[in-house]
Amino acid sequence: MRFYPTFFKVFFSGMEPEKAHHVGFSMVRLAEKTGASAVLRRMTAPDQSLERTVMGLTFPSPFGLAAGFDKEGHGTTALCDLGFGHIEVGTVTAIAQPGNSQPRLFRLVEDKALINRMGFNNPGAAAVAPRIRESLTHLSRRFGRTRPILGINIGKSKVVELEDAVSDYRTSAATLAPLADYMVVNVSSPNTPGLRLLQSVESLRPILEAVRDESEAKAQRRVPLLVKIAPDLADEDIAEVAALAIELKLDGIIATNTTISREGLSTSSDAVESMGAGGLSGAPLKDRSMQVLQQLRALLPDSIAIISVGGVTDAEDVIDRLNAGADLVQAYTAFLYEGPFWAWRINAGLKKAQRAGRLARS
């Protein structure tokens, strides 16, 4: 199962990163079309003992794929065959947009990290919605009661001014919430101008209230609502977001998004500088992401879930996050370096830890 690092070095390392992503994702989808992923599904299915109920939803495993990998919602069923307990689709915006100009994705192989300034490239909420609807039908048929959970992550359209952000998020919620197992408000990407300004509680409160009200009205049910925050927030700002989550009775917080920091990297400073602006993800976020998790868990009641993401590479990282108070754990960047059996290896490690009494239960 560890052939992939060699495969990556030979096949993908010399390929432009965004192209490599598309090629790799196409291979995952091709496995589904040819029927090969049916075999993978039987091999990689999480052990039933890993199931946990979070936000009223049953997750087959506490480990899932973070937003950013499937921005368009056209590969969720194929990805679920790899053993993820949930897939977070997006970030999706109300208005279709191409994202920033290329190149906009860069590898830091020595650091097992990425820098991206993708800019929420996606076909828009109206185009993503029917794909999610079809995916839910297929997943229910394949997995039955314990199908992987599908979350939908929404962001602000670039052409929309900050003062009109509330109505923009409301539009996305109206279109996508009826299809979402849970909804995430993303105000923490560094790649949409001004977006992170929306993390202030004064700006964030009306957005969350609008998304919650619109989601429940259109879905005619309670749709769990979370907010995704940046690792670059000061501790006092994190505390304010936690207080807002308690005030609004949010279902959870996702911590954290990518960072604008470039500290502690093994990649040369000249190489990093040549890559330009963007959010850094991967192993270098490990310590800060854990710090934010620990701070939030100390501030939040157990009724508010924390999904920990950032610097998660292997089963030990997931175990550490769960034992530190995370209800669920996500990752994305390591998927590109570890390959299609990554989720399977993590689930196997979680099962082993659980049997040894090393894994906390939610």
- What distance in Å separates the CA atoms of residue 108 and residue 106, rounded to the nearest whole number? 7
> Is position 58 annotated in a ligand binding site?
no
**pLDDT on residue 261:** 95
> Is position 70 annotated in a ligand binding site?
yes
pLDDT in 10s for each residue of the chain, 362 residues:
566 666 666 666 678 889 988 888 888 898 888 888 788 888 889 999 999 999 999 999 999 999 999 999 989 999 999 999 999 998 999 999 999 999 999 999 999 999 999 999 999 999 999 999 999 999 999 998 889 999 999 999 999 999 999 999 999 999 999 999 999 999 888 878 778 888 888 899 999 999 999 999 999 999 999 999 999 999 999 999 999 999 999 999 999 999 999 999 999 999 999 999 999 999 999 999 999 999 999 999 999 999 999 999 999 999 999 999 999 999 999 998 888 899 999 999 999 999 999 987 65
> Is position 118 annotated in a ligand binding site?
yes
Architecture of domain 3-356 in this structure: Alpha-Beta Barrel (3.20)
Ordered by start, the domain boundaries in the chain are 3-356
Give whole-number Cα distances, 91 to 64, 183, 327, 360, in Å.
Answer: 16, 11, 22, 30
Among 189, 281, 289, 308, the one annotated catalytic: 189
> Is position 191 annotated in a ligand binding site?
yes
The two structure tokens encoding residue 96: 């279709």
**pLDDT on residue 94:** 98
**pLDDT on residue 189:** 84
> Is position 249 annotated in a ligand binding site?
no
> Is position 259 annotated in a ligand binding site?
no
Based on its alpha-carbon atoms, the radius of gyration of the chain, rounded to whole angstroms, reads 19
- 189 belongs to the catalytic site: yes
**pLDDT on residue 35:** 85
Nearest to 154, CA basis, from 95, 100, 98? 95
